[in-house]
Structure 1
Amino acid sequence: MFLRIRKLFPIFVLVLLGVSCNEYQKVLKNEDIKAKYEMAEAYYNEGDFKRGLRLFEQIAPKYIGKPQGERVMFFLANSYYKQKDYNTATYQFERFIKSYPKSEKLAEASFLGAKSTYQLSPVYSLDQTDTDKALSKLQTFINSYSDSEYFAEANIMAQELTQKKEKKAYEIAKQYNKLGKFDYTFLTPAIAAFDNFLSDYPGSIFREEAMFYRFQSATELGLNSLNRLKKERFESAKKHYATLMKQFPETKFKEDADRLLEDINKEMQVMVGDTATTK
């Protein structure tokens, strides 16, 4: 008996699925808005966002201005999010926020709209337009809903995106530094890029590295400069060395930094000797 039930169970499931599917197709094709609404919400509550979404898409225009409109629009936006259609989810949450500024779901919609844009943020090496948009939305949420259950998660995401932008800015400066080893004309923009990075991201995890490579770039620039420019550039490089050592006295770059400083001092001694010989 038990074996017979086990054999029949898959057939029973298939029958139920067939009935369910037929019912879904029937409601999908008819004009009964109430039936569509009830089935869409049932699918939504069951976590079947794909089928629920198709129904919400059909009925959403019909519920504009009606009491259930707020509920339908939120379900619609969240269904797009659950389906990982983050572009459309971002747009739909923005619509919801504008349409229902007093909704009890406003904080959640603001968070999910920001999180949708966060999901669109690419790797640091690509264009960061979506990262900027996500940071703006997250900051707006953080400023507006400090007591929200989503506040901590929003802060974590904002920190992650900020670090992504930091890494991009740092890697751009580092690339100038690398190119400067083959063409010293890249060293001036490298120094400027590191200056901007240190100014824009004072608390960055890349601060120590940026300070060392700025000093390295400044040293290499001085060594490859015309004699009349060397003194000024070496003095500037030594200031960068002093800043590095002041902020990171136990820096992991100390050995390399000291060696570069020694190169500067040797070159400056040669310059002094040449000046004395000339006189």
Structure 2
Amino acid sequence: MFLKMKRILPFLLLAVILSSCSEYQKVLKNEDVKAKYDLAEKFYDEGDFKRANRLLEQIAPKYIGKPQGERVMFFFADSYFQTKDYNMAGYQFERFLKSYPKSDKAAEAGFLGAKSYYKLSPKYSLDQTDTDKALIKLQNFINTYSDSEYLVEANIMAKELTTKIERKEYEIAKQFHKIGEFDFTFLTPAVKAFDNFVSDNPGSVYHEDALYYKFDSATNLAFNSFDHLKNERLNKAKSAYNAFKKQFPESKYLKDANKTLEKIEKELQNYSK
């Protein structure tokens, strides 16, 4: 009996699937808005967001201004999110909030809309325009819905995106530093880039690294300068060391920094004589 049922079960499942497909195609092609609404809700509840989205796309304009409009519009936006079409999800959630700013779903829509833009953020080495946009959306959500159940996750995402942008800026400065090892003309922009990074991102996870490499770049610049510039630049490098050590007295870079400082001090003695 069990073996017989085991053989029959796949055919039953296939029949159900075919029936569902047939019903979907039939409703999709007819003009019965209520039938489309009911089937879209059924698909949505079952997690079949792709087919739900297709039906909701057809009926959403029909429900503008109607009691079910709020529900349809939220499902429509969320079906995009669930199918990972984050561009459309972000856009539709924005439309939902403009249409229903006092909705019980407003906080959730605001969060999912911001999260849609978060999902579009590329890796740090690429252009960060979408990351900047996502941060604005997340910050707006955090400011608007400060007591939301989604607040913790929103803050985590905002911190992640902030760190990504910081890394982008840090890596640009680091690239100047690296090229400066072979082309000394890049050392001045390296020092400037690290200086700007430290000023703009005082709480960054890359703060220690930036201070150290600013010192290292300033030192290399000083030692490779013309004689009439060397004394001033050596003192600037020494100041960079002092700022670094003051903030990170137990830094992982301190041993190397101390050795470099000894060379600076020794060179400065020549000028004091």
TM-score bracket relative to the smaller structure: over 0.9
Q: Which moved further from structure 2: 129-138 or 10-19?
A: 10-19
Residue 129 of structure 2 corresponds to 129
Displacement of 1:66 after TM fit?
1.3
What per-residue deviation string (whole Å, max 9, x for no partner) do you get for residues 206-244 of structure 1? 111111100011111111111111111111111110111
Query: How far apart are 1:21 and its partner, in Å?
Result: 1.1
Could you report, residue by residue, the CA deviation over 1:89-138 in whole angstroms, capped at 9, with x for unpaired residues? 01111111111111111111110000000000000011111101110110
In structure 2, the gaps of 5 or more residues are none
* 1:251-262 correspondence runs (5 A): 251-262=251-262
- In structure 1, what is the equivalent of residue 90 of structure 2? 90
Q: Alignment length, in residue pairs? A: 273
Secondary structure of the residue aligned to 2:249 is: coil
Separation (CA, whole Å) in 2 of partners of 1:169 and 1:77: 34
> CA separation in 2, counterparts of 1:113 and 1:103?
15
Aligned to 1:152: 152
> Any idea what SS the aligned residue of 1:126 has?
coil
1:67 CA displacement: 1.3
Amino acid of the structure 2 residue aligned with 1:262: E
- CA deviation after TM superposition for structure 1 residue 161, in Å: 0.4
Which shifted more, 257-266 or 161-170? 257-266
Amino acid of the residue matched to residue 66 of structure 1? K
Q: Give structure 1 regions of 4+ aligned residues with deviation exceeding 3 angstroms.
A: none
Q: Secondary structure at the match of 1:203?
A: coil
1:70 equivalenced with 2:80 (yes/no): no
Alignment of 1:1-279 (within 5 A): 1-273=1-273
- Quote how far apart the aligned CAs of 1:12 are: 1.3
* AA matched with 2:141: F
Tell me, in whole angstroms, the C-alpha distance in 1 between the residues paired with 2:217 and 2:10.
Answer: 71
SS class of match (2:72):
helix
- Structure 2 length normalisation: TM-score? 0.98
Bigger drift between 47-56 and 2-11 goes to: 2-11
Distance 2:21 2:134 in 1: 38
CA distance in 1, matches of 2:4, 2:218: 83
Structure 1 position 5, deviation (Å): 1.9
Q: CA separation in 2, counterparts of 1:207 and 1:74? A: 42
Cα distance in 2 for residues equivalent to 1:3 and 1:138 = 55
Percent identity, aligned pairs only, is 65
Offset of 1:272 from its aligned partner?
4.0
How far has the Cα of 1:56 moved from its partner? 0.3
